[in-house]
Amino acid sequence: WQRMLYEGKFTSIEDLSAAEKINPSYVSRVLRLAFLSPKVVQTILDGSHPAWLTMRDLMQPFSLDWQQQEKKFLYELKDSTSRVTSKSGF
């Protein structure tokens, strides 16, 4: 989707979502994932992300600053559990 927008196939998320018959809000949330820190992406791909981190967390608005993303997604604790890694397959 990002490439289609970049190349001008669609001029807006609304145009893209209409063509794909998908909610524009969903398209926006998915497109945002393209701006994740490489460290966050690699940690997820390695399966060594914190056990509490879910796709739902990643679909919420987040800063474009990579250091802030890493703090939020890799180091902040969601509850009283320690930083446990997950092999759950994202």
Q: What is the pLDDT of residues 18-68, one digit of tens each?
A: 999 999 999 999 999 999 999 999 999 999 999 999 999 999 999 999 999
pLDDT tops 50 at residue 82:
no
Distance CA 16, CA 39 (A): 29
| pLDDT at res. 80 | 41
Q: How many Cα atoms occupy the beta-carbon half-sphere of 29 within 13 Å?
A: 12
Q: pLDDT category, 76, cuts 50, 70, 90?
A: confident
Tokens of 7: 């190349």
Strand partners, 85: 50
